[in-house]
Structure 1
Amino acid sequence: MVKIRVLGIDPGLRNMGWGIIDVEGPRLSHVANGVIHSAGPDLAARLLALHEGLSGVVAQYRPRTAAVEQTFVNKDGAGTLKLGQARGIAMLVPAQAGLPVGEYAPNKVKKTVVGVGHAEKQQVLHMVKLQLPGVVIDSPDAADALAIAICHAHHGGAAGLAAAVERAIA
């Protein structure tokens, strides 16, 4: 059975959560998780900080696939636009590394991990801990990122890649 390393990303302009899991058949195991905090005097500097931080995560852990949570438009158009720019960084970094990138709606992530599409953050955190025994989670953003990675593992992102690798090896 081939082990596939999955990077889950919860995009945010101030705090970008990330989580890495290994998927081997039906078995999931925690590798690492954390948050990249943006810094800088303006939007460009903050986006650069996110890009550099996420690039470091990809270089250190070498995932084979990635998944990013989709965002929805809300009442604050300027805030939505800024979040979209952070999401662009979350999509760009794995793509620059040659990784396939999946996208999942928040309700799909929650339904996959908790069983309910409108689950609360505490429910998501609890179920991530159940599915990754012994995990120490850095923050709520990192918990969300791990949930996104778990969703990707269950919806063919990692399984499809593992099957392709096994066929190539055989």
Structure 2
Amino acid sequence: MERILGIDPGSRITGYGVIDAERNGLSFVACGVIKTTTDYPFSFRLNEIFEGINEVIQVHNPVIGAVEDVFLATNPRSALKLGHARGAAVVAAMQNGLTVYDYSPRAVKQAVAGYGQAEKPQVLHMVKALLSLNGSPSPDAADALAVAICHANQFHL
């Protein structure tokens, strides 16, 4: 069994999802979001992301990190902030000894929904089905779970 932490980075909301991957399937462990304090300076928000990911790792003990890559945003400033948030999450994972893998949004959608251009509702539906969830996680948490599922599929766990 491998415990995988999926991360959907964001400068305001970073989603996380933890799953266990075994030969006979995937099982849900936890998911949620790290919400940054938007009236704080950006550097403080990056530290909130770093500390939040640290806490998730310490509570759930994953061994692998899977992070969604930065997509091409129309606003360069937004893309830069997203890259910083992603960096804070990756460093937190690496500092805790996790091996970190990167996945493009297209690869994540392809792995979970079977279609690289799938919309968020399709991804959410498949995450719920693949993990046998009764409720619906938040969109950011569902995206993070999808990243973890993508990693499990990639390595046939």
How does the TM-score come out when normalised to structure 1? 0.88
One of 25, 28, 31 as aligned partner of 1:30: 28
> Pairwise mapping of residues 1-150 of structure 1 onto structure 2 (< 5 A)?
3-39=1-37, 40-150=39-149
Q: Secondary structure in 2 aligned to 1:98?
A: coil
Kept in 2: contact 1:35–1:138 (CA 8 A): no
Looking at CA atoms only, which structure, 1 or 2, has the larger radius of gyration? Answer: 1
Identity over the aligned pairs, expressed in percent?
A: 47
Looking at structure 2, the residues matched to 135 and 104 of structure 1 have their Cα atoms a distance apart, in angstroms, of 27
| Structure 1 residue 76: Cα displacement | 1.0
Q: Is the 8 A contact 2:65 2:99 kept in 1?
A: yes
Alpha-carbon displacement from aligned partner over 1:114-170 (angstroms, at most 9, x marks no partner): 0000000000000001100135343100000000000000101x73xxxxxxxxxxx
| Structure 1 stretch displaced more, 98-107 or 134-143 | 134-143
1:127–1:138 CA distance, 2 compared to 1 (3 A): closer
Q: Which amino acid aligns with 2:151?
A: H
